[in-house]
Structure 1
Amino acid sequence: MVDHSSHAFNRGLLEFLQASPTPFHAAENIAAQLTLAGFQPLVEGERWSLKPGGKYWVMRNGSSVIGFIYGREPMETDGIRMVGAHTDSPCLKVKPQPDLSSQGYAQLGVEVYGGALLAPWFDRDLSMAGRVSYRDGEGRIRSGLVDFKLPVAVVPSLAIHLDREANRQRSINPQKELPPLLLSEIDGVDQPSFRERLKAQLLAEQPSLTVDEVLDFEISLYDTQPPALIGLAQDFLASARLDNLLSCYVGLQSLLQADDRHSTLLVCNDHEEVGSASACGAKGPMLQQFLERLVPETETRMRVLDASLMISADNAHGVHPNFADRHDDNHGPRLNRGPVIKVNANQRYATTSEGSALFRDLAERADVPVQTFVSRTDMECGSTIGPITSAEVGVKTLDVGVPTFAMHSIRELAGRDDAAYLHQILNEFYRYPHPPGQS
């Protein structure tokens, strides 16, 4: 069970969430922790020489990461214990030509990334972060990360006096109503363009760079309110991007604690919230190509996959006390009652009875409670990287996650104990003594 006297795990999680406002920052922070723990970086464009007992990581697009421990047990009989999560979250992204001016205010053109709840984005202290691609003083194209950190933007609500139906019937037009305010313009004074502001920010964060011109960027807005433990007993964890940086962090900490007896892997993919169809997404070839380089011979690789199992960790819907009727009466997960096995008859989740049985066994070994989620039969079900990874790679997969409120909001809510519970189960998974893919 979770030791309530120690908050070290949650402190680390809160720090990771605060330091990872975009998938680029999340991947960089994951890679930094792996490197600090002795994992060696791999470059996809170079020749690899992977050896039993070695620890490695590889990154693609600066936003997806694989961490891997090459176990000393033979993989073709022992398999690979895999955990998958995703680095992206729904948000507002800045458009390529974003500079807007209206009624004496400088604004930004934005588009909605993923299935975001839009109403919570109003009246928040917003900052900006992401990747900037630029030409340096020698004419080479390079990229760097920026994070403004300070609140530099806001999307103000329309006063109820001007929208009397706001509390009864309210729809949001993202093109018209979401462009955030940056500043008040001064008549006759030219303001720097957004690209010029990015150049200044990049140089402020990395003064040693030579930046001739910002050529392009991938910038997201985010809420500056820091993650926190809240509630009368501080038994809730509130933060942006819990879906799904919480799972990335939990999987990372379990991998860092794994030994080199068994082969263990963590993959954190980008672009899950928009379908995963990219070179670095779960529907792309990143994991498959890693496994092909790890085990080049096809028949041996098939034997490895047959003995392997993937746990897809992505947050689950906790039963909301104000909206309990949105859940099946027998499948309403509660916060702080343990991780959730996610099941769907139409394969929106990849869980099978064999996979869920293994997860229950792992939970018993860890002395951790487990719950189950199934959608109401009259409601559509979301999905994860689980079915995608299972279909693309051919590895048996199950879907799990910690119960969460307000999923896809600018600020989500999870239980204080559930991340640590999942961490304990994944620790058991990474040292499970039998081939996890073979019942």
Structure 2
Amino acid sequence: MDASHYRVLDGGGVTSPRGFVAAAVAAGIKQSGRPDLVLVAAEGDCAAAGVFTRNQVAAAPVLLDRETLAANSAAIRGVVINAGNANACTGAPGLADARRMQALMAEAVGGRPDQYLVMSTGVIGVPLPMACVGNGIRAAAPLLAATNGAAAAEGIMTTDTRPKSLALTVDLPGGRVTLGGMAKGAGMIHPDMATLLGVLTTDAQVAPDDLAALLQEAVAGSFNAISIDGDTSTNDTILLLANGASGVVVADGPGRALFAAALGELCRALAMMVVRDGEGATRVVTVRVTGAATPADARRVADTIATSPLVKTAFAGGDPNWGRIMMATGRSGVALDQHKLALAVSGPDEPPLQLVRDGTPTDYHESEAAAVFAHPEFVVHVDLGLGAGEATLWTTDLTHDYVTINADYRT
């Protein structure tokens, strides 16, 4: 997207669009005493859309939000989010607790229970402490304000080391609109929908069906193109709310294209914040695959490279052991001709260094390759030499710290 069409707002977030407010409190769900209960509300009905995990063990909030949006995507009023407990693998009682969160939100903020969506994140398989949740919702409701976007982004964190939020404005033919958002995620991140929690807002006026299509497009090239550890959560959810407060309608034509590009930029920026905050991560790697017979083949190869423990540990050590990348390419299950394979790597603002051409090592110098792999961010480009299919994923290295964080996550 041409940057002249949009402007990033300093300190912007989920409440930057007109008509959105938020609040965050420490409800006691986490033992740390940190904020763990967040409300995001709109001053009026919103069109809403969601993209959810494909994990067949789906958390109660995912099941409930799918049901709620199927019945009422044109009149959503807000989202209630808790951190510290996923409300996943909790059976019928967990679903009842999620419905109770809707009801408590409606009682505290106004409207009907089915006008609110629910998100949870944290430990799987533990019942929600509903007394804490209820007290937290009641305590947060009077604090709802447009100035609390940053607090909301902090309140949804679990193993994140920093909050993730952003907002931008974009000039459409009908006027200026604002898009904002926040996300959380640092582990259990893999492209199988959205791979984290995120709430996106806009003051543009968009029909629910159009909003759903726009969200799907934006997620495909952002939240659905990042991988930290190859695991997809039970709770993955991205929600988009449009309240129309700007009076600017997004429909077909140039306005839709500009809005779609701005939404895609917002999602990509938030997704990259997630990758850069990956649990224990010290390097961010762009995996680009070209020359595949189909885009699906390219995606499969990129996915295999991005999730290979051997590849990712080599990244961690700054070791240009490119044979592991070739190994992952070959075991991806995609039909290929090893004698047509090419591999290049490049650091930021550097020309590509060709390591393999026609399946054969080039005469590169090992020191040159090591210098690229030592960068905190670099690109790995594999070309299969078979067609026009291509795909790009963003991944991280795999370090000792990742094991440390996840070995005692519940303690």
TM-score interval (norm. to shorter): under 0.3
State TM-score, norm by structure 1.
0.25
Is the helix fraction higher in 1 or 2?
A: 2
Normalising by structure 2, we get a TM-score of 0.26
User: Which structure has the higher relative contact order (CA within 8 Å, separation 6+)?
Assistant: 1
